[in-house]
Amino acid sequence: MPKAYKITDPSQTNATFAKIFNEGRNVDAWVSLYEPDAVLFDGPNPVIGHEAIRKSLAGLTNVPGAIETKVNFVGVNGDIALVRADYRFRHEGKITLTGSAIEVARRQPDGNWLFIIDHATGASVPSAWEAESGKA
């Protein structure tokens, strides 16, 4: 059974994901941050539900180093939150990967916030006009 992570503030969703990465990369703990029918964008194609998310996140267990995150903004409307967070992976003193995630979380009846949509690179993708013109 993974350690239970309770997120009482949606601005902590990305940081909690990073904490799990830095504490040992427990895939079950990551999956526990998602609603059962959540959507995770794995590259251009989304995966839906805990089993598909588990398979998708398993690849992160092999990524070396640590991850750092910073929240760019959080917008809350009732029980729904939109979060944009920037992150970077650091290994042996060097930044190996950076990105900007866009996530939607929902407050659960117990006050815990869980992902309903997670796009790890959603805020990093080029604009549709750049992609269309080949400048991306």
Band of residue 44 on the pLDDT scale cut at 50, 70, 90: confident
Burial 95-122 (b: 16+ CB within 10 A, else e): eeeeebbbbbbbbeeeebbbbbbbbbeb
13: CB partners within 8 A, 6+ apart: 7, 33, 81, 83, 85, 103, 105, 113, 115
Give the per-residue pLDDT at 135.
64
The residue-averaged pLDDT of 90-97 equals: 95
Give the pTM.
Answer: 0.89
- Domain extents for the chain? 10-125
- The three-state secondary structure class of 131 is helix
CATH 2.40.50.140 fits 10-125, yes or no: no
Whether 101 contacts 84, CB under 8 Å: yes
Band of residue 63 on the pLDDT scale cut at 50, 70, 90: very high
The residue-averaged pLDDT of 90-107 equals: 95
Report percent pLDDT > 90 for the chain: 81
Band of residue 21 on the pLDDT scale cut at 50, 70, 90: very high
Give the per-residue pLDDT at 131.
67
Give the per-residue pLDDT at 124.
76
